[in-house]
Amino acid sequence: MKATHFCVIAVTIVASFLGIFTLVAGFNLGEGGASASRVATFSTTDLNGALSEADSDLLVSVNTKEYELIKTNDPFFDKQWALEQMNITDLWNLTTDSKEVVIAILDTGIDSDHEDLQGKVVAEVNFTDSPSSNDINGHGTHVAGIICATANNSIGVAGLVPSCKIMNVKVANDYGFCDEATVARGIIWSVDHGAQVINISLEIRNHSITLEQAVNYAWDHGVLIITAAGNQGNKSAVYPAYYENSIAVAATRPDETLAPLSNYGDWVDVAAPGYNIYSTLPGNKYGYETGTSFATAYVSGLAAILSSVLSDMNGNGMLNDEVRSAIEKSCRQTNSTGYNFGIVNATAYIRQFVVTNP
């Protein structure tokens, strides 16, 4: 039995008595052009209806030239159904001139020597009792690959935003356990060391003032936190996803219905692909995982892309509010229920403002 299986079972039992542990919010299913200038014209209609003129001013630094379809030579690209559903090749084309963004991944560690992740980790810290910041569990490495695995290198898979850099912030031990104070420390460390987006594919069953204060600290410093909605298959709130200053993510299947065990409810903000997700595993391996953890990674990747192309419209010196608004407004409505805004669809949002140069 893999450690990720044990984590879910063990934490479910322990948390019901102690209420202090968190678990990685996923489970295994299988095998081991333009510069910074304002865009001149825009559409006033998005997928859901009205899109204000102010929204058009958010976007800068998009590639506005005619483009050809980007094709990668990554051998497992065809296994990555989520990238096709999210129209990733369009998104890459539209943001080719985007700035590099740093994402902190608070998880079980990352195998930074993985063939598809080499050179991606720019900082790391270990807040656990594990002797190493490396990923023994596998969960953190899988999340990292979804976000930033190198594309078009004839190896493995392609990340959603392969140009970004990541921080390896180990807050869960090698069995996937951690407590709310450790997650809070990881958040504050990430903010203080320059992260622009924080991915937290973890869930805690009980409210913690310390953790909520850390989430608010990040928001107040312009950092956007993306969080897993949890895998109990019900409306139960988990943390930090439930907190106002984070984006809670549910998981969906290829047919856009909720993935098995994904939490849902009016406190969940958006949904993203989280079923049979193929990505990196420690030791130059690859495999499938399912859960809100992996849906969270896709939204973190979109947040990074948007952070690289949006401008600060309200003059507060931060972009997290603009990025959050863009993610939520871009969502595609489906027949599924259980989340407020729909399935993320930032490609369509960005395309609203593309101008083709003569």
What is the set of active-site residues?
107, 139, 293
Contact 323, 310 (CB under 8 A): yes
Rounded CA gap, 198 and 246, in Å? 10
Instruction: State the number of CA atoms in the 13 A half-sphere of 22 facing the CB.
Output: 35
Contact 235, 265 (CB under 8 A): yes
Contact 170, 140 (CB under 8 A): yes
Contact 7, 33 (CB under 8 A): no
| Residue 291, C-beta contacts closer than 8 angstroms, at least 6 positions apart | 25, 26, 27, 201, 228, 231, 251, 259, 261, 262, 274
Rounded CA gap, 249 and 180, in Å? 19
List, as one string, the DSSP characters of 22-91.
EEES-EE-S-----S-B-S---SEETTEE--HHHHTTBBS---S---------TTGGG-HHHHHTTHHHH
Residue with tokens 């958010």: 58
Q: Report which residue type is found at 210.
A: T
Rounded CA gap, 8 and 173, in Å? 13
Rounded CA gap, 191 and 197, in Å? 9
Within the chain, what is the greatest distance between any pair of CA atoms? Answer: 66
CA distances from 192 to 163, 221, 268 (A): 22, 9, 27
Instruction: State the number of CA atoms in the 13 A half-sphere of 211 facing the CB.
Output: 28
Rounded CA gap, 104 and 356, in Å? 35
